[in-house]
Amino acid sequence: MQTVRLPQSELEKALSSRPKHIFVAGASRGMGEAIARALGDEPHNLTLGARSYNKVLGISMDLGTARALPVRLDLTDQRSIDEAVVSAESRFGPIDALVVASGVNAETPLEDLSSDARARFRHILEVNLFGTYFLAQLVTAHMPNGGRVLFIGSVLARFGGTRSSAYTASKHAILGLTRSMASELAPRGIRVNVLNPGWVDTQMAHDVLSRMAQSSGQTLQQTTAAMMASQPIRRMIKPTEVGAYAKFLLGPGGDAITGQGIDLSCGAVMI
């Protein structure tokens, strides 16, 4: 049998037209869910990971289980990370793009010297930095050339956050990690970026606002209004807006973008 050899341009076209395999960590709610649903509008194969398996199962059923695989993923557990990646690659092959939207937040006031406060600090760094790095390290080891990595950070990567030193430190670290990985993976054509949203209309943001209101003695409505008044576009960001921008960066529009911290902040950060 004679082997048919496609011209290089045709081969590249054929490879680029195949369904991409995208792994979304933290896909069970908030921005991660919005990104997963935005990507579900395209003919991609999706692996959706989160600690809450039932939630990602429900989202996978909405998108179609033939092309959406739910996996249990706990970023504090290396075995969970390994098993999630093995399951994903066994089902859809190497991962072409990774989105890490997993994250936790809690108050870590400087004056709190308790063992509970120190445990919270370690847990936030364990999820937001260490687990995030180990997942990205494992996925990119097998990622095809030309792949994408997108972290979901925070505008707190640009300035300090009161009573949130652990969360703020983790987001500063993710910005540095993005730049290091972008340089290291550039020879393989892999783009690495981080989206830094401001106030997004998610449960996590509302929990933070509630804690701020409680500590200041204001109502939740007063605290929220004050936060919105501090930025030029005086509203919260919609999770679907984060999903749309993530979709842009993972598509052809992101070809010339790497090593960037992109602020999606309604003007709260201008640099």
Q: Could you write out the three-class secondary structure of the chain?
A: CCCCCCCHHHHHHHHHHCCCEEEEECCCCHHHHHHHHHHCCCCCEEEEEECCHHHHHHHHHHHCCCCEEEEECCCCCHHHHHHHHHHHHHHHCCCCEEEECCCCCCCECCCCCCHHHHHHHHHHHHHHHHHHHHHHHHHHHHCCCCCEEEEECCHHHCCCCCCEHHHHHHHHHHHHHHHHHHHHHHHHCCEEEEEEECCECCHHHHHHHHHHHHHHCCCHHHHHHHHHHCCCCCCCECHHHHHHHHHHHHCHHHCCCCCEEEEECCCCCCC
Mean pLDDT of the chain: 92
Residue 129 lies in a domain: yes
Same domain, yes or no: 130 and 220 = no
Farthest-apart Cα atoms in the chain, separation: 80
What pLDDT, on a 0 to 100 scale, did the predictor assign at position 70? 98
166 and 190, same domain (yes or no): yes
Give yes or no for residue 101 having a pLDDT over 80: yes
Q: What Å distances lie between residue 147 and 62, 82, 151, 211, 264, CA to CA?
A: 26, 20, 14, 39, 23
Residues 242 and 151 in one domain: yes
Residue 49 confidence class, pLDDT cut points 50, 70, 90? very high
- 179 domain residue, yes or no: yes
How many angstroms separate the CA atoms of 80 and 180, rounded? 25
> What's the CA gap between 155 and 269, in Å, rounded?
7
Q: Would 9 be classed as within a structural domain?
A: no
Q: Which segment, 1-5, 19-23, 161-165, 208-212, is predicted with the most confidence on average?
A: 19-23
Q: What pLDDT does residue 203 have?
A: 85
Residues 138 and 228 in one domain: no
Shared domain check, 182 and 106: yes
Q: At what angle do helices 165-185 and 115-125 cross, to 10 degrees?
A: 20
Note whether residue 7 is domain-resident: no
User: Is the distance from CB of 264 to CB of 196 less than 8 angstroms?
Assistant: yes
Whole-angstrom distance, CA of residue 97 vs CA of residue 140: 9
Q: Are residues 142 and 227 in the same domain?
A: no
Q: What's the half-sphere exposure (Cβ side, CA atoms, 13 Å) at 243?
A: 22
In a domain, 270, yes or no: no
Domain count, the chain: 2
The whole-number average pLDDT for the span 165-194 is 98
Residues 108 and 218 in one domain: no
pLDDT of residue 118: 97
**Do 150 and 35 share a structural domain?**
yes
Q: Which domain holds residue 212?
A: 202-236
Residue 30 in any domain: the answer is yes
Quick check: 206 pLDDT over 90? no
Most confident of 51-65, 193-207, 257-271: 51-65
In a domain, 110, yes or no: yes
**Domain identity same for 92 and 114:** yes
Tell me if 132 is assigned to some domain: yes
What CATH number corresponds to the domain at position 243?
3.40.50.720
Are residues 218 and 137 both part of a single domain?
A: no
pLDDT given for residue 11 in this prediction: 46
Residues 46 and 59 placed together within one structural domain of the fold: yes
Asked if residue 221 and residue 97 are part of one domain, the reply reads no
Average the pLDDT over each of 60-64, 77-81, 158-162, 251-255 and give the range with the smallest value. 158-162
Evaluate whether 209 touches 227 at the Cβ level (below 8 Å). yes
Q: Which of 17-26, 125-134, 214-223 ranks highest by mean pLDDT?
A: 125-134
Pairing of strands 260-264, 68-72: unpaired
What is the model's pLDDT at position 110?
95
